[in-house]
Structure formats: structure tokens, C-alpha cells
Amino acid sequence: MFHQLDLVLPAEPYDGPMQMALDEVLLRSVVRPMLRIYRWSAPCVTFGYFQKLEEARRVHPAMPMVRRWTGGGMVEHGNDLTFSLIIPAGEKIASEAPASFYRQLHGRLAGWIRSRLPVSVDLAGGEEVRLGTSCFQAPSNDDLLIRGRKVLGGALRRSKGGLLYQGSLRVSEIPGWNPLRISPRSWAEAFMDCLETRTMDASILREAGELVGTRYGTTGWNHRK
């Protein structure tokens, strides 16, 4: 899928606003494709850019939550494998139509899972596609299904700098897979065999912290719709 890929190791856990801010800051400065694996400091709900906070609160009244920069539905995090792909504008796949991008990416991930586990992984389509406010209750075209249940969903955001994909894999619902045994490097091999690892620069962390204070951690951002 990529000629080269940087794997950003999850050096420490962060809360929802900081996770969202990190992805936006990384997209601003990305120069080659990057895969970032999240570690959550506490369970959290993210909800899509076009959703309403009140709607998310009705479903998850006691959970901390933050609006994503990407679209899609509500996702409860903490027991999932959460990751982002950050792709610079110069990469061909960054300019693909959303439907084509999802088909290529999710198809590759489905093949990777099939190669490691004796499970049937399908791409959602037709009658399997449903509308809904919660991501995993509403499969979209080419989301991953195992035994009819959605196990992977993702959402996109484009900017002048490139493309951000934020994804969530419900590893605990995949038969035969122990979520504690999926290392960041193992998951990264789904995208590319040849990887370079990197840690988060102090300047990125500082800029993301500032963005939490001006956007993702503010009432104005989370109540905007």
C-alpha cells in the first residue's frame, strides 16, 4: 500500500482531546505516510464531526467524550485497537475517492487478518449496510464484518497537507485473537513489511497540548453542532 511507512510508537497514553490534537498536528507536518497507534489513559467516546454532543451523551451519559475532526459515528475506546494513518498529499492514495480508499485499505486489512487467523472476514455491502449514530451498530460499505458483526470502522479528513484516517478495530470480538498480543509492529505489517519506527517529537507534543486548549478540550468545539 505504501513505499515507505513510519510507525509512531505509543510512548505513553493520552486522553481523548490530546489524541485528536496529535493527529491534526501530525497531519500538518507529515512528509511520508505514518501509522500511529493510540494508548488511552482512560476509556473515552469520540463522536463524528457532524454529530451532536447531546446525541452522544444520551448513549454514553457517564463517559468522557470529544468531537473528532473526522466524520462517522460514535466510538467507545479503551478496549479497541485505535490507530490513525496520516498520508501526505503527494501520495497517490491520498487523492483517491473515499469509497476507493476504504475499499483498498479495508480489503488489505481483511486479507491480513485472514492470513493469520482461521476466520471469515467480509466487507460490508448491500443489506449489511445500515444507518445509525453508533459506529459499530451501523456498518458502512467496506467495513469489516466477522460473523455478521462489524469489527473495523474508520473515518476520513482531508486537508491541504494530506489525508487523515482514524480507525478502530474491536480485537476482542475476533475469534482466536488475544488483544494483548497485538503489538504495534505486528499491526503495522498489515500496511507494509519495511517500517521505520519513530517517537513523538517534543515540539509535536507541545503543539498538540496547545491545540487541546484552543480546540479539542473546549466547550465551543464539542458543542459546535
Spot the catalytic one: 135, 174, 188, 190.
135
Residue 194 annotated among the catalytic residues of the structure:
no
Question: Which one, of 52, 34, 16, 43, lies nearest residue 164 by Cα?
Answer: 34
Mean pLDDT along residues 204-209: 95
- Residue 6 scores a pLDDT above 80: yes
The amino acid occupying position 21 is: A
- Residues 143-195: tens digit of each pLDDT: 899 988 899 989 999 998 899 999 999 888 888 887 667 788 888 888 876 77
What's the predicted TM-score (pTM) here?
0.93
Question: Which one, of 118, 174, 172, lies nearest residue 147 by Cα?
Answer: 174
**pLDDT band per the 50, 70, 90 thresholds, residue 199:** confident
- Would you list the DSSP string of 114-142? HHHSS--EEE--GGG----SBGGGS--TT
- C-beta separation of 84 from 166 below 8 A: yes
CA dist 199 and 194 (Å) reads 17
What is 5-89+151-222's CATH number?
3.30.930.10
What is residue 130's predicted lDDT score, i.e. its pLDDT?
A: 82
